[in-house]
């Protein structure tokens, strides 16, 4: 008998048993049909959607056995536990980075159960992820910010004291530019108090911004010089303040021309301190230099890849690409800084419903507040 190395065996096991017959790649969330044939969830979903007639049943791509699709969709078919445990076993024994990385693309996990109780979520609008503490801050429509660990375990509710009116957060962001030592601060838009609140991660109120001029704060972002830039949804401008909250200037005005807003919503800052602003009514993303000069505006209304129907939440990734959550098209899109559409990050099967905001959660990972599904979804790309 020829000698056979463990590595060879592992490679063959992967090729024969851990390769999806549809995409010929490593299984991604494998589902097993009653006939025992196994496929990636995404591949089955695409297979099912491409069927000629809108039949209720799914036909196994290999043996043509007919399988009723559960009402809640393909994703609720049983996982192939055997394949998953075999993949995990081989990954532990033989670390082969390229095959492992393919598992980590797309929707990697999610948490959130609909409700008012502590630890539940009701229409989350804002999400921020702390790199220092690996905690997730979620603002939802129950006038609260709750803190979770990355696995979705509820840790605590954020209590902000000394506010004159009821705390009504709709946006939460995190910045390192408002502390002397680079530690993280929360930037919270409170629509009832018509202010942006700067707090530490414990919720201690450090600064109130926009007290005298903000109509209704939308998203907020902070440039490296500590300037705080806030979308004023009522006035349809971006207001900039210094780190102490002193008003500095306005950006934009009402209208449909290139440098004007009809419904500005969110703002993000690039590495060069350019300001990126979404306008959900003009279906546009504006990029301003910090000086206030409009560098470019991009976006057209539509349903096709790279088009908008109400762009909302924004993030800038480590490469400088712009991620846009589109509420009306229910998707997460990636553009380069020049506005060139690169790709869609989510898959239709991930079922985003009115994604309101997005936050970086690591180098190539984002957290999305999925408002209508009452949950937070994490995508790797
Ligand atoms: Zn596949
Ligand atoms: Zn089959």
Q: What is the pLDDT of residues 194-251, one digit of tens each?
A: 999 999 999 999 999 999 999 999 999 999 999 999 999 999 999 999 999 999 999 9
344, exposed or middle or buried, with CB in 10 Å at 0-12, 13-18, 19+?
A: middle
Measured distance CA(126)–CA(369) in Å, rounded = 6
Q: Within 13 Å of residue 288, how many CA atoms lie on the same side as its CB?
A: 23
The model's pTM:
0.80
**DSSP string of 271-335, one letter each residue:** TT--EEEEETTTTEEEEE-TTS-EEEEE--BSSSTT-BSSEEEEEE-TTSPEEEEETTTTEEEEE
Read off the pLDDT of residues 265-301 as tens digits, 9 standing for 90 and up: 999 999 999 999 999 999 999 999 988 899 999 999 9
CA of 285 to the centre of ligand 1 (A): 34
Read off the pLDDT of residues 161-179 as tens digits, 9 standing for 90 and up: 999 999 999 999 999 999 9
**What class is the 108-380 domain?**
mainly beta
Q: Are the C-beta atoms of 66 and 32 separated by less than 8 Å?
A: no
Does the fold of domain 108-380 match that of domain 6-104?
A: no
Residue with tokens 């401008």: 237
The CA-to-CA distance between both ends of the chain, in Å, stands at 44
Architecture of domain 6-104: 2-Layer Sandwich (3.30)
Q: Is the model's pLDDT at 71 over the cut of 80?
A: no
Question: Ligand nearest 27 Cα, by number?
Answer: 1
Find the range with the poorest average confidence among 6-20, 130-144, 217-231, 324-338.
6-20
Coil, helix or strand for 61? coil
Describe the chain by its helix, strand, coil percentages, rounded to 5.
15, 40, 50
Measured distance CA(184)–CA(173) in Å, rounded = 10
Measured distance CA(277)–CA(268) in Å, rounded = 7
What average pLDDT does this structure show over 25-41? 91
Q: Are the C-beta atoms of 10 and 93 separated by less than 8 Å?
A: yes
Confidence (pLDDT) at 99: 47
Burial 138-167 (b: 16+ CB within 10 A, else e): bbbeeebbbbbebebebeeebebeeeeeeb
Measured distance CA(220)–CA(205) in Å, rounded = 16
**Nearest residue to 276 (alpha-carbon basis) of 309, 237, 315:** 315
Q: CA-CA-CA-CA torsion for 325, 331, 333, 339, nearest 10 degrees?
A: -70
Confidence at 97, pLDDT banded by 50, 70, 90: low
More confident residue, 321 or 110: 321
- Tell me how long the chain is: 381
CA of 44 to the centre of ligand 1 (A): 8
Which residues make Cβ contacts (< 8 Å) with residue 66, sequence separation at least 6?
A: 57, 58, 59, 60
More confident residue, 347 or 370: 370
Confidence at 6, pLDDT banded by 50, 70, 90: confident
CA of 74 to the centre of ligand 2 (A): 15
Measured distance CA(172)–CA(219) in Å, rounded = 8
What average pLDDT does this structure show over 86-97? 78
Q: Is the model's pLDDT at 95 over the cut of 80?
A: no
More confident residue, 289 or 347: 289
In the chain, pLDDT over 90 holds for what percent of residues? 72
**In the chain, what are the domain boundaries?**
6-104, 108-380
Confidence at 255, pLDDT banded by 50, 70, 90: confident
More confident residue, 127 or 350: 127
Confidence at 103, pLDDT banded by 50, 70, 90: very low
267: region left, alpha or beta (phi > 0 left; psi from -120 to 50 alpha): beta
Using the 8-state DSSP alphabet, how is residue 96 labeled? -
CA of 22 to the centre of ligand 2 (A): 12
Q: Is the model's pLDDT at 186 over the cut of 50?
A: yes
CA of 311 to the centre of ligand 1 (A): 31
Confidence (pLDDT) at 53: 67
CA of 103 to the centre of ligand 2 (A): 23
Question: Ligand nearest 33 Cα, by number?
Answer: 2
Which residues make Cβ contacts (< 8 Å) with residue 159, sequence separation at least 6?
A: 203
CA of 82 to the centre of ligand 1 (A): 16
Which residues are bridge partners to 315 per DSSP? 323
| Beta-carbon neighbours within 5 Å of ion ligand 1 | 20, 22-23, 40, 43
Measured distance CA(345)–CA(324) in Å, rounded = 10
- Joined tokens for residue 209: 């911004």
- Joined tokens for residue 149: 């660990």
Which residues are bridge partners to 249 per DSSP? 240
320: region left, alpha or beta (phi > 0 left; psi from -120 to 50 alpha): left
Return phi, psi of residue 34, to 5°. Answer: -55, -30
Measured distance CA(84)–CA(91) in Å, rounded = 11
Q: Are the C-beta atoms of 173 and 221 separated by less than 8 Å?
A: yes
CA of 110 to the centre of ligand 2 (A): 30
């Amino acid at each position: 008998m020829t000698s056979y190395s463990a590595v060879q065996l592992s490679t063959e096991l992967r090729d024969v048993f851990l390769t999806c017959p549809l995409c010929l790649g490593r299984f991604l969330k494998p589902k097993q049909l009653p006939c025992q044939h196994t496929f990636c969830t995404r591949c089955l979903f695409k297979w099912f959607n491409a069927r000629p007639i809108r039949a209720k049943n799914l036909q196994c791509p290999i043996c043509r056995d007919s399988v009723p699709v559960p009402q809640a969709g393909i994703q609720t078919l049983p996982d192939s536990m055997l394949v998953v445990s075999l993949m995990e076993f081989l990954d532990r024994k033989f670390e082969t980075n390229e095959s492992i990385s393919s598992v980590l693309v797309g929707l990697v996990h999610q948490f959130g159960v609909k409700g008012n109780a502590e630890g539940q979520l009701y229409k989350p609008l804002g999400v921020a992820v702390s790199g220092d503490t690996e905690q997730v801050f979620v603002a939802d429509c129950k006038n609260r910010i709750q803190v979770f660990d990355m696995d979705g375990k509820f840790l605590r509710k954020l209590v902000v004291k000394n506010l004159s009116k009821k705390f009504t957060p709709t946006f939460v962001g995190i910045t390192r530019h408002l502390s002397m030592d680079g530690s993280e601060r929360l930037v919270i838009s409170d629509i009832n108090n018509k202010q942006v609140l700067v707090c530490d991660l414990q919720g201690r109120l450090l600064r109130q911004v926009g007290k005298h001029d903000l109509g209704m704060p939308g998203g907020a972002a902070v440039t490296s010089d500590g300037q705080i830039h806030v979308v004023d949804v009522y006035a349809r401008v971006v207001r900039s303040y210094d780190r102490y909250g002193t008003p500095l200037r306005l950006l934009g005005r009402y209208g449909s021309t290139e440098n004007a807003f009809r419904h500005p919503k969110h703002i993000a800052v690039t590495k060069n301190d350019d300001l990126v602003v979404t306008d959900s009514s003009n279906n546009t993303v504006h990029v301003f230099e910090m000086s206030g000069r409009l560098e470019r505006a991009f976006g057209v209304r539509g349903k096709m890849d790279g088009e908008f129907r109400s762009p909302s939440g924004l993030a800038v990734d480590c490469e400088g690409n712009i991620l846009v959550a589109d509420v009306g098209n229910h998707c997460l899109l990636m553009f380069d800084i020049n506005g060139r559409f690169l790709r869609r990050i989510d898959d239709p099967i991930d079922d985003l419903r009115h994604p309101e905001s997005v936050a970086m959660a690591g180098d190539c990972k984002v957290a999305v507040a999925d408002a209508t599904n009452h949950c937070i979804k994490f995508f790797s790309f």
